[in-house]
Structure 1
């Protein structure tokens, strides 16, 4: 197992869970994140570096000081903020990521894990989406992710860089950001736990390929730990289940019978999710490193309900 791991975006929701997973198996975790995330980590075994991904000197100093043997790169502007500021999104998501990969290559650090997205494929694809489906995203967020994927593979093929990549579909999280377009399942369950009504930002029949956050966390640690020779692909798709908004309402009402809900067909969120596939082909991940989701739809809902109850 790894002695020291550097996690960029390490104070975020996903980064903290990955850190906890690694710490539980004895890995020292160094979290690199924005100064605004200060205070998110309090575990005594953590080292926390506060700074911006665009600060190359700080990245160099961090790698030199802590000498990680694995880098898990999660830091990224999300889809909405990327669309609002495409130039900054390119600098943070693409340029800074490629710079970090080169710094790791120069220091012989690896594996290097990159968190990508199923949005790299673009919309309106038939399910299941195969790994070799051409990637033509229609937003800047997806474009930045494709750029980093391509450079990672280039460095892997030409210079032996240990680049590993997962493309995640919609991820459901208990602590979903309020402004996240695809976080409505978590928000709906939280509303039900408070005794509030809710309006789904999609039509009843809208759904897409989904993972629960705990499966995402585990998949990152698993692919980083897999023998390099076992990985036949440069990047892997993951998938667990598909559900519709109506499925979600029924699952909530089975636990909160008084819950009432409306829908918003034709909204921007509805249009976005309708154009995303229901299934991404994850057979390569299952064959190469034993990927298997632990959370189906019902287990995900139950986990979200229990978290919501603990907060209400």
Structure 2
């Protein structure tokens, strides 16, 4: 039986494919992307199927034709593209999630995990953000993901589908320079010996970080967990629960890379990460219920792994073709 990873050629999806292949799973990667550079090194160890989540027939076919027994639903149109093309975002993120869940019901796929985002919060991000914090997204990507969380819960209640969600903190890894992200470009520029222009944060802007390898690990771990362990269903996950300010991150980087400079030129782009007076992204339910345990749990550990991946695996991150 095969494990299906939607968005399997994407940033976290490709790392999830890699982790599943490395433990001997039969893996099918489904993605609209025509360039599979992130998983090319795996060769014939993974089956790639090009398809569109917004096309119900293509979703049905990839599930039916590959005897899928578990789905890692990671495919989506990310935040900045969603703001540029809201109609395509709705098709991929909302209809696409419905298509995947309905395929599970029609073909008897017993379990699925879904990737959500800290962007499902938004208004009133104050204090500690827990799984019980009111979710009021201000970006379309976050709204679509919140709908997916709710739709999955409905399928669980109505058809018995074993549905689980990981709700990621700010993603950290090489070559993440999309609008809204300040931390990955800052880290990458420091490693490369370049000055950084921080467009999406002030010195006081904060974030809770998860490294891309840990993000994929969370996806694998939650679907491995026994069903009886899953009580909360939709879980925050992070590598570092307490927030890190841009000023604090810059200081850590300047200690490791002397001479590194940061200039803050705040963009007026509306696609900025959620901000507020929040102090932590609490993932204690994930840790308690299914033993979530990230590998990279300090800024220094994340930066060290970032440098290793940047230098040793540039092709995985689109930095060398």
Same fold (TM over 0.5): yes
The 2-side partners of 1:220 and 1:144 are apart by: 19
Which secondary structure state, in structure 2, belongs to the residue aligned with residue 37 of structure 1? coil
* Residues 227-266 of structure 1, C-alpha deviations (whole Å, 9 max, x = no match): 0111111211123322111222122222221212212357
The 2-side partners of 1:145 and 1:210 are apart by: 19
RMSD: 2.1
Which secondary structure state, in structure 2, belongs to the residue aligned with residue 63 of structure 1? helix
Which secondary structure state, in structure 2, belongs to the residue aligned with residue 71 of structure 1? strand
The 2-side partners of 1:225 and 1:37 are apart by: 29
Residue 148 of structure 1: aligned partner = 148
Closer/same/farther in 2, CA of residues 309 and 276 from structure 1, 3 Å limit: farther
Residue 238 of structure 1: aligned partner = 237
- Unaligned 5+ segments in structure 2 are none
Residue 301 of structure 2: aligned partner = 299
Aligned partners of 2:76 and 2:92 also within 8 Å: yes
The 2-side partners of 1:299 and 1:259 are apart by: 19
Residue 29 of structure 1: aligned partner = 27
Which secondary structure state, in structure 1, belongs to the residue aligned with residue 3 of structure 2? strand
Residue 257 of structure 1: aligned partner = 258
Closer/same/farther in 2, CA of residues 25 and 124 from structure 1, 3 Å limit: same
Q: Does 1:57 align with 2:46?
A: no
Aligned partners of 2:7 and 2:73 also within 8 Å: yes
Aligned partners of 1:164 and 1:223 also within 8 Å: yes
Query: 1:192: Cα distance to partner?
Result: 2.8
Query: 1:309: Cα distance to partner?
Result: 4.4
Which secondary structure state, in structure 2, belongs to the residue aligned with residue 254 of structure 1? helix
Query: 1:215: Cα distance to partner?
Result: 1.3
The 2-side partners of 1:29 and 1:276 are apart by: 42
Residue 76 of structure 1: aligned partner = 76
Residue 171 of structure 2: aligned partner = 171
* Residues 158-208 of structure 1, C-alpha deviations (whole Å, 9 max, x = no match): 2101111111111111232x32421x3322233233332112222112112
Count residues in correspondence.
308
Structure 1 stretch displaced more, 122-131 or 48-57? 122-131
Residue 138 of structure 1: aligned partner = 138
Aligned partners of 1:203 and 1:270 also within 8 Å: no
Closer/same/farther in 2, CA of residues 289 and 309 from structure 1, 3 Å limit: same
Residue 213 of structure 1: aligned partner = 212
Query: 1:280: Cα distance to partner?
Result: 2.2
Residue 5 of structure 2: aligned partner = 7
Query: 1:74: Cα distance to partner?
Result: 0.7
Aligned partners of 1:38 and 1:50 also within 8 Å: no
Aligned partners of 1:18 and 1:221 also within 8 Å: yes
Residue 275 of structure 2: aligned partner = 274
- Unaligned 5+ segments in structure 1 are none
Query: 1:6: Cα distance to partner?
Result: 0.4
Query: 1:56: Cα distance to partner?
Result: 1.6
Residue 160 of structure 1: aligned partner = 160
Closer/same/farther in 2, CA of residues 47 and 221 from structure 1, 3 Å limit: same
Task: Give the TM-score of the pair, scaled to structure 1.
Answer: 0.91
